[in-house]
Amino acid sequence: MKRLSQISPGIAVIIRQIENDEFFLKLMEMGFIPGEVITIEQVAPLGDPISVSVAGYSLSLRLNEARSVLVEEVYKKTA
């Protein structure tokens, strides 16, 4: 598993866990539910904040919030 803050733009990931209790409720209210697929859309020029697509909408997260989200990359099966 990786932290959301380590994922590059264009990569789809599955949320596995939110570590920081301080951000847990805030992120859950925004749709960051374990098992949800999210995509990194953009990273600001200086790296903070990042823009992600979750539950059909876009939102921005600070890096300290993104560091508390553990994710796994989504792999597409090839035929």
Instruction: Tell me, yes or no, whether 50 lies in a domain.
Output: yes
Query: What CATH code is carried by the domain that includes residue 42?
Result: 2.30.30.90
Residue 78 lies in a domain: no
Q: How many CA atoms are closer than 13 Å to the CA of 31, on its beta-carbon side?
A: 15
The answer to whether residue 79 is domain-embedded is no
58 within domain boundaries: yes
Provide the domain limits for residue 15.
Answer: 2-73
Write out the two tokens for 2.
Answer: 């990786």
Q: Which of 13-17, 18-22, 37-41 has the lowest mean pLDDT?
A: 18-22
Report pLDDT for 79.
47
- Total domains in the fold of the chain: 1
31-51 pLDDT per residue, tens: 888 999 999 999 998 888 999
Query: What's the confidence (pLDDT) of residue 75?
Result: 66
Using a 10 angstrom Cβ sphere, with 0-12 exposed, 13-18 middle and 19 or more buried, the burial of residue 12 is: middle
Which of 51, 16, 8 minimizes the C-alpha distance to 36? 16
In the chain, which residue ranges form alpha helices assigned H by DSSP? Answer: 21-29, 63-66
Predicted confidence at residue 20, as pLDDT, reads 82
2 touches 10 (CB < 8 A): no
pLDDT at 3 exceeding the cut of 60? yes
Is 31 inside any structural domain? yes
